[in-house]
């Protein structure tokens, strides 16, 4: 079970949203590198880095944050938010991200994403399945679709994608617990999937429950910043 702390970026600062609402923004630190070093300092090895400006605008904005963290830590970074062109994808990987997280493009421009999978290999991608009532949402969660999450996941596992993180938007940032039932349904259909849970984790029991049902990882954000779970506790997993 991998613990993956999250850093969400707006205007170069470490923030958190509630239910994906940009109007419900709280700044936690002016320096994301400082936060990343704290994660690394307790032995955590992964980082989920999201350019919220990029997700909203459709192009990567916060390059410098990725570059700094990649250059000054040894964290394995997955980076997402605004990756829409092959040139951008290459730059993200060259700048230091191990994985590129793809969400909206996998919905709206499927042919392009499939070309990328063939060209770069499925192993460099982490597919984001952002969900509202079991339907996919895109564009920084601002746009709802009628695409069933189970069909969406299946369409890309067939292409070789093995690492998928799933966020229940209605749970995210609310510290009310993760969507255990949703993740169980996904894993029942796709038992070999490396499913990374995202959204709602508020206590260690939530992580233990996610491990019990077979999730391979958990992204933890607000619970860290609101001191609901300590970094030392997370490092024990």
**Between β-strands 194-198 and 163-168, what pairing exists: parallel, antiparallel or unpaired?**
parallel
Mean pLDDT of the chain: 92
| Active site positions, annotated | 8, 130
Q: What is the pLDDT of residue 169?
A: 82
SS3 of residue 13 by DSSP: strand
Range of the domain at 107: 2-234
How confident is the model over 168-175, as a mean pLDDT? 72
pLDDT top residue among 22 and 38? 38
Q: Are 73 and 37 in contact (CB under 8 A)?
A: yes
Query: pLDDT at residue 93 above 70?
Result: yes
- CA-CA-CA-CA dihedral for 118, 167, 84, 25, to nearest 10: -160
3-state secondary structure 91-133: HHHHHCCCEEEECHHHHHCHHHHHHHHHHHCHHHEEEEEEEEC
pLDDT top residue among 101 and 133? 101
Q: What is the pLDDT of residue 114?
A: 97
Locate tokens 């969406």: which residue? Answer: 152
Report the interhelical angle of 204-213 vs 180-189 (nearest 10°): 20
Whole-angstrom Cα distance, residue 68 to residue 55? 20
Report the interhelical angle of 63-72 vs 32-41 (nearest 10°): 30
Q: Are 112 and 105 in contact (CB under 8 A)?
A: yes
Query: pLDDT at residue 20 above 80?
Result: no
The pLDDT tens digits of the residues spanning 126-155 come to 999 989 889 998 765 567 889 999 999 999
SS3 of residue 32 by DSSP: helix
Tokens of 54: 């990029």
Q: Are 217 and 191 in contact (CB under 8 A)?
A: no
Q: What is the pLDDT of residue 107?
A: 92
The pLDDT tens digits of the residues spanning 39-76 come to 999 999 999 999 999 988 889 999 999 999 999 999 99
Number of domains in the chain: 1
Q: Are 232 and 42 in contact (CB under 8 A)?
A: yes
Q: Are 121 and 78 in contact (CB under 8 A)?
A: no
Tokens of 4: 């993956």
Q: In Å, how far from its chain's centre is CA 8? A: 9
3-state secondary structure 166-199: EEECCCCCCCCCCCHHHHHHHHHHCCCCEEEEEC
CATH number, domain at 23? Answer: 3.20.20.70
Q: What is the pLDDT of residue 98?
A: 97
pLDDT top residue among 21 and 190? 190
The pLDDT tens digits of the residues spanning 81-91 come to 989 999 999 99
How confident is the model over 117-121, as a mean pLDDT? 97
Q: What is the pLDDT of residue 99?
A: 98
Query: pLDDT at residue 172 above 60?
Result: yes
């Amino acid at each position: 079970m991998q613990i993956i702390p999250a850093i969400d970026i707006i205007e170069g600062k470490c923030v958190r949203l509630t239910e994906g609402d940009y109007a419900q923004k709280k700044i936690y630190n002016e320096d994301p590198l400082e936060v990343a070093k704290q994660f690394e300092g307790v032995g955590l090895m992964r980082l989920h880095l999201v350019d919220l400006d990029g997700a909203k605008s459709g192009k990567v904005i916060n390059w410098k944050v990725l570059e700094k963290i990649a250059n000054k830590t040894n964290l394995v970074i997955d980076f997402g938010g605004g990756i829409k062109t092959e040139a951008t994808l290459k730059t993200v990987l060259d700048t230091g991200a191990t994985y590129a997280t793809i969400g909206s493009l996998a919905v709206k421009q499927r042919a392009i994403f499939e070309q990328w999978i063939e060209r770069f290999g499925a192993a460099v991608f982490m597919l984001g399945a952002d969900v509202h009532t079991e339907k996919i949402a895109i564009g920084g969660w601002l746009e709802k679709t009628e695409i069933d999450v189970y069909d969406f996941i299946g369409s890309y596992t067939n292409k070789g994608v093995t690492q998928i993180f799933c966020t229940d938007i209605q749970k995210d940032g609310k510290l009310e617990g993760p969507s255990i039932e949703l993740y169980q349904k996904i894993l029942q259909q796709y038992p070999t999937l490396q499913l990374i849970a995202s959204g709602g984790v508020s206590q260690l029991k939530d992580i233990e429950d996610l491990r019990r049902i077979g999730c391979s990882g958990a992204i933890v954000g607000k619970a860290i910043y609101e001191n609901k779970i300590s970094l030392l506790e997370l490092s024990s997993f």
